C-alpha cells in the first residue's frame, strides 16, 4: 500500500490537534497515525513502531515525541505461599524464598541482570523493598540503587492458602507507595517513559491466582512453570503443584466476591510488589507518561490497574511476550477494557513487540525494548513525508 500524500496545511492541522487540550487521547492518537501514514514508507510497514510512535506523540501532545529520559522502577517483596512448608508456607517455587533478597543484593551491587541491561540501554534503575523477608545476615541497602519503602509489609505477605495475603489497609498502603515512588522518579528525572519490574520468589503463583480470581479464568489456562523451567523443558510436577496450590487458595477464598474486584483480590491472593506496580502504573497514567510493560507479573499488574482506572490502557506499551501462557489472557482482558471504554484508536496495538523467550523478570524485557521505543519516536520526529521526498531535486 502506498503512503498517503498529505499537504503542509493538513500536517499543520494535525499538529494543532496534537496540542489541543480539548481533544481526547484517541483523537490525538488517530491524528498521529494519519501523520505517520503520510511519511515516506508503505502505510503500516513499520508495524508496532508506528503504534508506539503515535502513542508517544499523543501522550506528549507533539509530532516530535522522545524517549530519551527512561527509568526502571523495580519493586520487591516476598510471598508467604513461597515459604517452606516447615515455616507455614506451601513451597510453591523451585527456588527458596531467600533468593529474593540475594537478587536485590546483586542489584544493589550493580551486577544483576537488570543492572547490566539498564547500563547498556541508558536507563536509570531504582529498586524499592516493599516487603522482603528478613535475611540470615543483616544487610543494609545502599540507598543508591536499592532502598526501603517508606511503608512496607515486614516479612512479606501471609500464606494465601490459609488466610488473606494482606489486609485491605496493606493493599492501599502498597498502592500509595507505588504512586509516591513513581511520582518521585518522574519528577526527579523528567521521564519520557517508565518501566516497572518485580522481584519476589513465588510471584508467578500470585499472578496466576489474581488472573483466575479476577476474570474467572481456568487455573490450568493461566498457570505456567514460573522460574522452574529449564533448557530441558517444563517441570510438569511443579506446574501441577502450582495448580493445586492456586485451586486450594481460590477454594479457601470462595466466599469472597473476587471476580472483577481488584482490591479484594489483591488482599486475598496478591503480593506487595504487585500492588506497588499497580499504584505506579496509575500514577504514570495520571501524568501521561508511557509505560513499557514487562512480562507476566507486570502484565498482571497492568490488567489490575486498568480494572481500577481504564485510562491506564492508553499508556501501556507491551514489550515482551512471556513464556507464561497467562500473560496473553491478561492482555486480552486489557484489550477488551480499552475497547469498552473507547480508548482504542485505529491501529492501536495491544500485543507484545518482542517474542524472544524472555522470562528472567527484573524488567529485563522492557529494558531491552527501550531502543525500539526510541526508534519509534525518531520515525515520527525525523522521517520525511512522501511529499518531501517527491519534491527533492534530482542530483542535488
Cell of 116: 547490566
Q: CA 112, 77, 123 angle in degrees (round to 5)?
A: 40
For residues 324 and 297, the answer to whether their CB atoms sit within 8 Å is: no
Cell of 308: 481500577
For residues 56 and 373, the answer to whether their CB atoms sit within 8 Å is: yes
Q: What is the pTM of this model?
A: 0.93
Q: 170, 264, 273, 362: which is the annotated catalytic residue?
A: 362
- Per DSSP, helices labelled H in the chain are 8-19, 25-37, 48-60, 98-108, 113-120, 168-189, 203-215, 219-222, 236-252, 262-269, 272-286, 296-308, 326-340, 364-368, 370-382, 386-390
Residue 396 has pLDDT above 90, yes or no: no
- As a whole number of angstroms, the distance between CA 274 and CA 200 comes to 9
Q: What is the pLDDT of residue 359?
A: 87
- As a whole number of angstroms, the distance between CA 216 and CA 144 comes to 41
Chain position carrying cell 488482599: 267
Cell of 380: 515520527
pLDDT per position as a tens digit, 357-368:
998 889 999 999
pLDDT per position as a tens digit, 181-239:
999 999 999 999 999 999 999 999 999 999 999 999 999 999 876 655 555 556 677 88
- As a whole number of angstroms, the distance between CA 286 and CA 69 comes to 18
Chain position carrying cell 517474542: 355
Q: Catalytic site residue 362?
A: yes
Query: Which are the contacts of 100, defined by CB distance < 8 A and separation ≥ 6?
Result: 76, 77, 78, 132, 133, 199, 200, 201
Alpha-carbon distances of 289 from 149, 150, 311, 380, rounded to whole Å: 22, 23, 12, 17
Query: Which are the contacts of 119, defined by CB distance < 8 A and separation ≥ 6?
Result: 110
For the residues 19-48, what does the mean pLDDT come to?
A: 91
Cell of 78: 516476598
For residues 130 and 196, the answer to whether their CB atoms sit within 8 Å is: no
pLDDT per position as a tens digit, 83-111:
988 888 888 887 888 899 999 999 999 99
Q: What is the 3 state secondary structure string of 110-149? A: CCCHHHHHHHHCCCEEEEEEEECCCCCCCCCCCCCCEEEC
- As a whole number of angstroms, the distance between CA 247 and CA 224 comes to 14
For residues 283 and 243, the answer to whether their CB atoms sit within 8 Å is: no
- As a whole number of angstroms, the distance between CA 278 and CA 283 comes to 9
Residue 110: DSSP 8-state: T
Q: What is the pLDDT of residue 5?
A: 45
Helices then strands, each counted (H, E), the chain: 16, 6
Dihedral, 363, 175, 191, 38 alpha carbons, nearest 10: 80
- As a whole number of angstroms, the distance between CA 291 and CA 313 comes to 10
Q: What are phi and psi of 11, to 5 degrees?
A: -65, -40
Chain position carrying cell 519528577: 187
- Per the rule left: phi > 0, alpha: psi between -120 and 50, beta: everything else, 155 is left
The β-bridge partners of 320 are 354
Q: What is the pLDDT of residue 283?
A: 98
Three-state SS at 79: coil
Identify the CA nearest to 126 among candidates 82, 191, 201, 80.
Answer: 191
pLDDT per position as a tens digit, 268-326:
999 999 999 999 999 999 999 999 999 999 999 999 999 999 999 999 999 999 989 99
Amino acid at each position: 500500500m502506498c503512503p498517503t500524500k498529505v499537504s503542509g496545511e493538513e500536517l499543520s492541522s494535525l499538529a494543532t490537534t496534537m496540542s489541543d487540550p480539548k481533544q481526547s487521547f484517541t483523537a490525538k492518537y488517530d491524528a498521529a497515525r494519519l501523520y505517520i501514514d503520510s511519511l515516506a514508507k508503505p502505510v503500516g510497514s513499520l508495524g508496532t513502531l508506528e503504534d508506539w510512535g503515535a502513542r508517544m506523540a499523543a501522550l506528549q501532545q507533539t509530532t516530535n515525541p522522545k524517549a530519551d529520559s527512561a527509568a526502571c522502577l523495580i519493586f520487591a517483596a516476598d510471598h508467604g505461599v513461597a515459604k517452606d512448608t516447615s515455616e507455614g508456607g506451601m513451597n510453591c517455587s523451585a527456588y527458596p524464598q531467600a533468593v529474593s533478597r540475594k537478587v536485590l543484593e546483586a542489584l544493589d551491587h550493580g551486577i544483576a541482570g537488570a543492572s547490566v541491561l539498564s547500563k547498556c540501554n541508558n536507563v536509570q534503575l531504582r529498586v524499592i523493598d516493599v516487603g522482603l523477608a528478613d535475611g540470615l545476615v543483616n544487610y543494609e541497602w545502599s540507598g543508591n540503587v536499592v532502598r526501603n519503602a517508606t511503608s512496607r509489609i515486614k516479612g512479606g505477605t501471609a500464606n494465601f492458602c490459609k488466610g488473606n495475603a494482606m489486609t485491605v489497609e496493606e493493599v492501599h498502603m502498597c498502592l500509595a507507595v507505588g504512586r509516591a515512588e513513581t511520582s518521585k522518579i518522574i519528577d526527579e528525572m523528567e521521564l519520557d517513559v517508565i518501566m516497572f519490574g518485580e522481584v519476589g520468589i513465588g510471584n508467578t503463583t500470585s499472578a496466576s491466582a489474581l488472573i483466575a480470581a479476577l476474570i474467572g479464568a481456568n487455573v490450568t489456562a493461566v498457570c505456567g512453570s514460573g522460574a522452574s523451567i529449564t533448557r530441558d523443558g517444563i517441570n510438569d510436577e511443579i506446574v501441577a503443584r502450582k495448580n493445586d496450590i492456586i485451586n486450594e487458595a481460590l477454594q479457601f477464598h470462595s466466599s469472597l466476591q473476587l471476580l472483577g474486584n481488584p482490591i479484594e483480590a489483591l488482599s486475598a491472593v496478591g503480593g506487595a510488589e504487585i500492588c506497588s506496580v499497580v499504584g505506579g502504573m496509575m500514577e504514570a497514567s495520571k501524568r501521561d507518561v508511557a509505560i513499557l510493560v514487562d512480562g507476566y507479573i507486570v502484565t498482571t499488574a497492568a490488567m489490575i490497574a486498568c480494572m481500577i482506572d481504564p485510562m491506564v490502557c492508553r499508556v501501556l506499551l507491551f514489550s515482551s511476550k512471556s513464556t507464561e501462557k497467562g500473560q496473553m489472557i491478561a492482555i486480552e482482558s486489557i484489550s477488551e477494557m480499552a475497547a469498552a471504554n473507547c480508548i482504542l484508536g485505529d491501529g492501536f496495538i495491544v500485543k507484545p513487540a518482542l517474542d524472544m523467550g524472555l522470562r528472567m523478570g527484573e524488567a529485563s524485557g522492557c529494558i531491552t525494548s527501550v531502543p525500539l521505543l526510541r526508534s519509534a519516536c525518531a520515525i515520527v520526529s525525523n522521517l520525511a513525508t512522501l511529499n518531501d521526498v517527491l519534491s527533492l531535486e534530482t542530483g542535488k
